[in-house]
């Protein structure tokens, strides 16, 4: 099973923290596993960071694009701040 990100609403939530503005959009992720390696049965609600742009992802199903990952400090796999999603067909 692969990671599936489902955007169910185009609503963007904006919050301000210490002079910084964060734009986020709710989504549900399936294909996740718990710390013991067992699959999580139900989709998990997450917040997708939208960066400086309040433009939401359209409603639909996606997976993460390879550009959403990079090799960070100490050769650790790291998730990019600005996620890129690939629509699923």
- The length of the chain in residues reads 89
Per-residue confidence (pLDDT) for residue 52, from 0 to 100: 74
- Tens digits of per-residue pLDDT, 61-74? 999 999 999 999 99
State the pTM of this model.
Answer: 0.84
Rounded to the nearest angstrom, the gap between the alpha carbon of residue 18 and the centroid of all alpha carbons in its chain is: 23
Number of neighbours of residue 25 by Cβ within 10 angstroms = 20
- Tens digits of per-residue pLDDT, 11-48? 999 988 899 888 999 999 999 999 999 999 999 999 99
Contact (CB, 8 A) for 61 and 6: yes
Indicate which CATH number applies to the domain containing 45: 2.40.50.140
Q: Over 70: is that where the pLDDT of 1 sits? A: no
Contact (CB, 8 A) for 88 and 63: yes
Number of domains in the chain: 1
| CA distance from start to end of the chain | 15
- Tell me which residue range forms the domain holding 71: 4-87
């Amino acid at each position: 099973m692969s990671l599936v990100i489902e955007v169910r609403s185009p609503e963007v939530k904006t919050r301000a923290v210490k002079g910084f503005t964060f734009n986020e959009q709710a989504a549900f992720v399936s294909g996740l596993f718990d710390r013991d390696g067992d699959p999580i049965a139900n989709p998990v609600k997450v917040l997708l960071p939208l960066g400086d742009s309040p433009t939401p992802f359209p409603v639909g199903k996606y997976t993460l694009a390879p550009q959403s990952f990079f090799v960070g400090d100490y050769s650790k796999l790291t998730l990019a701040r600005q996620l890129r999603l690939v629509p699923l067909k």
